[in-house]
Structure 1
Amino acid sequence: MSGKRLDGKVAVVTGAARGVGALLARKLAARGATLALVGLEPEELKGVAASLGGEAAYWHADVTDHEAMGRVAAEVVERFGRVDIVVANAGVATGGPFVDSDARSFDRVIEVNLLGSVATARAFVPALVESRGYLLQIASLAAITPAPMMAAYCASKSGVEAFAHCLRGELSYQGVGVGVGYLSWTDTDMVRGADADEVMRELRGSLPWPLNKTYSLEPAVDRIVRGIVRRAPHVYGQWWLRGMQAVRGSLPGLIALGGAREMRKFAPRLAAGRDARRGLVGAGGAADESARTGR
């Protein structure tokens, strides 16, 4: 494989059972890293770990549980002797108008995406200080621009973006790099779950190019891997996202105008489907709900 190797490096990936996390683990392992996988789906994690070969291992843990994440960090260091890379990737989503949203699901998006990233950093930053390592926080296009029907997700991803920027300022003098990863709509279970809602799918399709496309997973993850290797402060899963940074100040006003038009257009259909549009989307969302309810 071309590019810099990661032999001898230990990488932790949260949300590693599927999607971005699972493929990222495989790509990092292919470059020689030893992987520690964290998530809520033990059978899927076991399968990913087995596919990596070598010393890869997995931990079943909820990233919002500080005690559990502290235990995971201690066990990873005990097993592998160090931690060089941490990717805070675990995330869930829900969609639909805020006024119709299920409060428990809305709050859970904030808990997993934002507070779960905080708990991950709190658990692993001491090890990263020891290794002068690198933390990549997976954010989203949703951190750059607001979007109607995505209030919880946008709030959580804006939060983790700011959190990571703060950590970079605090940790850089100790040799720790901190990056933020941005992804647009990428072909994962989460996005496919959101698209299962016909109205949500049509609303997304009404966005201007290139916001209205779903992008292949592998090229996006390849870009993330290259960013990790470079210890980049910003990593863009799609090339055009870099340009969005230059215009992000003007986006809320534009989104408000366009959003008002689209929400008025779709209001009757949104009202008719409000009862079905509850809970977390996709297989990862279902796994999170199952882990919390025991069902």
Structure 2
Amino acid sequence: MSARRSLEGQVAVVTGAARGVGEVLARKLSARGARVALVGLEPEALEGVSRRLHTESAYWHADVTDHTAMARVAKDVEAHFGQVDIAVANAGVATGGPFIDSDPQSWRRVIEVNLIGGAVTGRAFLPALVSARGYFLQIASLAAIAPAPMMSAYCASKSGVEAFAHCLRAEVGHAGVRVGVAYLSWTDTDMVRGADQHEVMRELRQQAPWPANRTYPLGPAVDRLVAGIERRSPHVYGQWWLRGMQSVRGCLPSAIALGGRRQMRRFAPRLGEVSTGLVGAGGVADEQARALSD
């Protein structure tokens, strides 16, 4: 395990910083002395987060799937702070329900924000990270390790960002840039609470084997992310047990398919109750921002 590096004076970019993991991560990075650039779709919320930080900060309103906008943000951030040492691709949305009944636009949007948004963020900030010999952290999920029914878009996107980060690590390591993948289980965020508003989704999750059936507090999970950033770790686990899942992930698709058949048969009469749109306050913000841009 690498030694921790001080974050004092370093510049960290966090996407999806208006709420949830991004907001708490920004606060904890600032508490350790980092200067923070916040990126997201909710200017008022970003301004509020920025005001509460302990160190120098600024915020930018941008859609992480927009190459032009993110390239402009990267230039502005570097001009404002003089450098970029850390970039965290955290922005994400989710939808649930059976794929066959899914809303095509919402399904596609999950892939766009989570996977393409992570890649666009990397493309925008990699030149500055190369100059600083910095660190790029891609937020993935248990969904990358254990693909589950009723979560096809989210699992596909998080499997994709995991693979993207692994490829990127091999490409830019010679330039001194470290790349990490962070894995989180069900964590107490607006996204998870939004998914839990649908009874079928909540019951499906609660029937998963322990410890994957719990909702974990946000603070300790983000503390682990900060420790991973300080160490420039290739893998960061928001919950202690996720590390062990790596050793059995090859067996999981078959086991999940077997259990999924039973669960889907039981839930079949109630599947029409599940909303097909984006979940949580972040999903609402994304839909509103796109409606305004149309």
TM-score, structure 2 as length reference:
0.97
- Does the aligned pair in 1 maintain the 2:33–2:55 contact within 8 Å? no
Equivalent in the alignment of 1:267: 268
Inter-partner Cα distance in structure 2 for 1:170 and 1:76? 24
Q: Establish whether residue 221 from structure 1 lines up as the match of residue 222 from structure 2.
A: yes
How many Å separate the matches in 2 of 1:208 and 1:59? 40
Matched, 1:188 2:189: yes
Q: Give, in angstroms, the shift of residue 61 of structure 1.
A: 0.2
One-letter code of the match for 1:100? D
1:18 counterpart letter in structure 2 = R
**Rounded Cα–Cα distance in structure 1 between residues aligned with 2:172 and 2:97:** 37
Task: Provide the rounded CA distance (Å) in 1 between the counterparts of 2:252 and 2:8.
Answer: 42
2: distance between equivalents of 1:193 and 1:18?
13
Q: Which runs of 5+ in 2 are unaligned?
A: none
Shift of 1:4: 5.0
What does 1:106-117 align with in structure 2 at a 5 Å threshold? 106-117=107-118
Question: In the aligned structure 1, how far is the partner of 2:276 from the partner of 2:152?
Answer: 14
In 1, the alpha carbon distance for the partners of 2:6 and 2:170 equals: 27
Q: Deviations over 1:40-89 (max 9, x none)?
A: 00010000000004320000000000000000000000011100000000
1:289 maps to 287
Q: Distance in 2 between matches of 1:69 and 1:205?
A: 38
The residue type equivalent to 2:253 in the other structure is P
Q: Distance in 2 between matches of 1:117 and 1:235?
A: 17
Name the CA distance, whole Å, in 1 between partners of 2:80 and 2:290: 28
Write the mapping of 1:57-72 to structure 2, written as runs, cut at 5 A. 57-72=58-73
Q: Name the % identity.
A: 72
CA deviations 1:163-207 (Å, max 9, x no partner) are: 000000000011000000000000000000000001110111111
Matched residues, number: 290
Cα deviation 1:96-123 (Å, max 9, x = unaligned): 0000100000000000000001110000
Partner of 2:52: 51
What's the RMSD between the two structures over aligned residues? 1.0
Quote the Cα distance in structure 2 between the aligned partners of 1:94 and 1:112. Answer: 12
Query: In 2, distance between residues paired with 1:214 and 1:4?
Result: 30
Deviation of the 1:16 alpha carbon = 0.2
Q: 1:247 maps to which residue?
A: 248
Give 1:1-295 correspondences, 5 Å limit: 4-271=5-272, 273-274=273-274, 277-294=275-292
Contact kept, 8 Å, 1:107 with 1:152, in 2: the verdict is: yes
C-alpha distance in 1, partners of 2:92/2:43? 16
Confirm or deny: 8 A CA contact 1:4 1:31 kept in the other structure. no
Structure 1 residue 278, shift from structure 2 partner? 1.8
In structure 2, C-alpha distance between the alignment counterparts of 1:197 and 1:76, rounded to whole Å: 39
Say whether the 8 Å CA contact 1:144–1:244 is kept in structure 2. yes
Amino acid paired to 1:284: G
Structure 2: which amino acid aligns with 1:83? Answer: V
SS at match of 1:294: helix
Amino acid across the alignment from 1:57: A
- State the alpha-carbon separation in 2 of the partners of residues 161 and 213 from structure 1: 23
Shift of 1:294: 1.9
Query: What CA distance in whole angstroms lies between the structure 2 residues aligned with 1:105 and 1:119?
Result: 19
**Separation in 2, partners of 1:4, 1:86:** 16
Q: Which runs of 4+ in 1 moved over 4 A?
A: none
Q: What one-letter code is carried by the residue in structure 1 that aligns with 2:286?
A: D
Gaps of 5+ in 1: none
